[in-house]
Amino acid sequence: MTADPATTYAAAPGAEYAETASQAYRAALQVIESVEPRIAAATRKELADQRDSLKLIASENYASPAVLLTMGSWLSDKYAEGTIGHRFYAGCQNVDTVETVAAEHARELFGAPYAYAQPHSGIDANLVAFWAILATRVEAPELAALGVKHVNDLSEADWETLRNKLGNQRLLGMSLDAGGHLTHGFRPNISGKMFHQRSYGTDPETGLLDYDALADAAREFKPLILIGGYSAYPRRVNFAKLREIADEVGATLMVDMAHFAGLVAGKVFTGDEDPVPHAHVTTTTTHKSLRGPRGGLVLAQPEYADAVDKGCPMVLGGPLSHVMAAKAVALAEARQPAFQSYAQRVADNAKALADGFLKRGARLVTGGTDNHIVLLDVTSFGLTGRQAESALLDSGVVTNRNSIPADPNGAWYTSGIRFGTPALTTRGFGAEEFDRVAELVVEVLTNTEPSSTGSGGISKAKYKLADGTADRVHAAAAELLNANPLYPGLTL
Ligand code: DSN
């Protein structure tokens, strides 16, 4: 089960400059230690912990040392509100270069007419997209009808009317328990408060997206914005169909590809499964399957580009220039052929993990996967997601609990565990290792039982892991991890 070094190198950029990166990190940690030793210690410990655990959180990955090192610079110190070549501060020539290069790589990689690299996170990217769509679809026509160029020129009464219109638009997104995201209209999130929202779900029998039901919901609700994309749906989406539905009802199609941007960049999702040519506006984070720094990105068709470009001051303050620089480095990495083999392995490995669960009798939402996510229904083990997540963590397997459709245990305890393959694929794991991961997970869950509440009931949080299980699984995981080292050659 030893990883092929050639594949590991291709999958995890950085091994070729590991010694230089080691020197850089040793020096940096020495400097940090001289100021606040606890932070140096926590930073060292985080690497050790990540090296020693099976990281299966679908939204996490391991960025290359080049990406990580890029963030530790004086670019962090520069304010650069505005856009490229049009800043509200002097001295932004180097930030202009950084943002230009990041946007250029994003456009080339995704084949997008326009890219905006400033959002600090996924929620920021989505807020920029929402307001750019509102500005284009609602504000601009209203201003034109009133013969006014800028909102500041509106009378108080007209501004009040426009504000009410902007705040009363409709949004249709995937429901949280079907796999949608908080920012797609979930009521406690700002997206559910600023929009009149409704959600679409999945077929109750198959767990799959039902395009006919979605079209019916769109026809009835007539949203201004139809959102595609997910954070826990284990299947591919036909974005050409979503665009047809959006066009039929006059909606703008916005796709949040945060989870699967790496599969789009790596050309695993092409044609109808590639959202970028179909969506009017596409948003993403840069740190999940895309394997870059923590941050956001917006791609847009030309008719939305000007409005997206006003992300600052519309929604954002000063861009994080050091992170935009790291986005540029990560996007440059993603344009290398090796990234495509990594992306294909992410999808192949998810299938291997799903097959490993299925052949051991576990129940998966939708019966399998064809992206990077596997959603395990743990009620078949008699557990809640909370109990399963904790028992797995005790055994060195890091996951997160997740709702499943019509979840009987609600959004806190949940009935599912979401698994993702990007991080361990970056480490070099292949199908054989993922089958072994499935075996270890099943071993933990079959050896876990719920505890009583103390007042006669069954707890949704407390559990008992059979003696010896955690040690056995830790040891088996260590074998897999040692054969596929994280940041090979990097020593602190
Ligand atoms: N928290 C991310 C995820 O785990 O999917 C999305 O925001």
Note the pLDDT tens digit of each residue in 271-309. 999 999 999 999 999 999 999 999 999 999 999 999 999
Residue 222 zone, left/alpha/beta (φ > 0; ψ -120 to 50; rest)? left
Provide the pLDDT for residue 3: 44
Provide the pLDDT for residue 207: 95
- Atom of ligand 1 at shortest range from CA of 258: 6
Express each pLDDT in 60-110 by its tens digit.
999 999 999 999 999 999 999 999 999 999 999 999 999 999 999 999 999
Instruction: Please choose from 284, 288, 294, 372 the residue to mutate so as to test ligand 1's pocket, defined by most ligand atoms within 8 A of CB.
Output: 288
Range 376-394 average pLDDT: 97
Marked catalytic residue, from 33, 52, 60, 81: 81
Range 179-185 average pLDDT: 94
Q: How far apart are the first and last CA of the chain?
A: 26
Nearest to 284 by CA among 293, 300, 295: 295
* Coil, strand or helix at 364: strand
Does residue 1 register a pLDDT over 80?
Answer: no
Look up residue 354 and give its amino acid.
A
Please answer whether residues 323 and 136 qualify as being in contact, where contact means their C-beta atoms are separated by less than 8 angstroms.
Answer: no
Does residue 453 register a pLDDT over 90?
Answer: no
Provide the pLDDT for residue 11: 54
Marked catalytic residue, from 55, 78, 235, 288: 288
Range 242-255 average pLDDT: 98
> pLDDT band at residue 454, thresholds of 50, 70 and 90?
confident
Range 399-420 average pLDDT: 96
Marked catalytic residue, from 44, 241, 294, 310: 294
Does residue 13 register a pLDDT over 90?
Answer: no
Could you please report the per-residue DSSP string of 225-254? EEEEE-SS--S---HHHHHHHHHHHTPEEE
Range 340-357 average pLDDT: 97
Report whether residue 122 contacts ligand 1, using a CB cutoff of 6 Å: yes
Residue 129, classified by CB atoms within 10 Å of its CB into exposed (0-12), middle (13-18) or buried (19+), is buried
* pTM recorded for the entire structure: 0.96
Report whether residue 231 contacts ligand 1, using a CB cutoff of 6 Å: yes
Express each pLDDT in 24-65 by its tens digit.
999 999 999 999 999 999 999 999 999 999 999 999 999 999
What is the residue-averaged pLDDT of the chain?
A: 95
Provide the pLDDT for residue 12: 66
Provide the pLDDT for residue 14: 84
Does residue 10 register a pLDDT over 50?
Answer: no
Residue nearest to atom 3 of ligand 1 (CA): 59
> 400 CA to middle of ligand 1, Å?
10
Marked catalytic residue, from 183, 285, 286, 384: 285
Please answer whether residues 299 and 112 qualify as being in contact, where contact means their C-beta atoms are separated by less than 8 angstroms.
Answer: yes
> pLDDT band at residue 455, thresholds of 50, 70 and 90?
confident
Report whether residue 59 contacts ligand 1, using a CB cutoff of 6 Å: yes
Report whether residue 179 contacts ligand 1, using a CB cutoff of 6 Å: no
Nearest to 280 by CA among 225, 327, 210: 225
Residue nearest to atom 1 of ligand 1 (CA): 59
- Atom of ligand 1 at shortest range from CA of 57: 4
Which tokens go with 83?
């856009």
| CA separation for the pair 74, 105 (Å, rounded) | 22
> 4 CA to middle of ligand 1, Å?
31
Does residue 4 register a pLDDT over 60?
Answer: no
Does residue 6 register a pLDDT over 50?
Answer: no
Lowest mean pLDDT among 5-9, 35-39, 65-69, 223-227: 5-9
Please answer whether residues 243 and 225 qualify as being in contact, where contact means their C-beta atoms are separated by less than 8 angstroms.
Answer: no
Q: How many CB atoms lie within 10 A of CB 39?
A: 12
Express each pLDDT in 417-438 by its tens digit.
999 999 999 999 999 999 999 9
Does residue 217 register a pLDDT over 70?
Answer: yes
Range 248-272 average pLDDT: 98
Does residue 472 register a pLDDT over 70?
Answer: yes
Provide the pLDDT for residue 7: 46
> Between vectors from CA 12 to CA 7 and to CA 18, what angle results, nearest 5°?
110
Range 364-388 average pLDDT: 97
| CA separation for the pair 453, 461 (Å, rounded) | 9
451 φ, ψ to 5°?
A: -95, 165
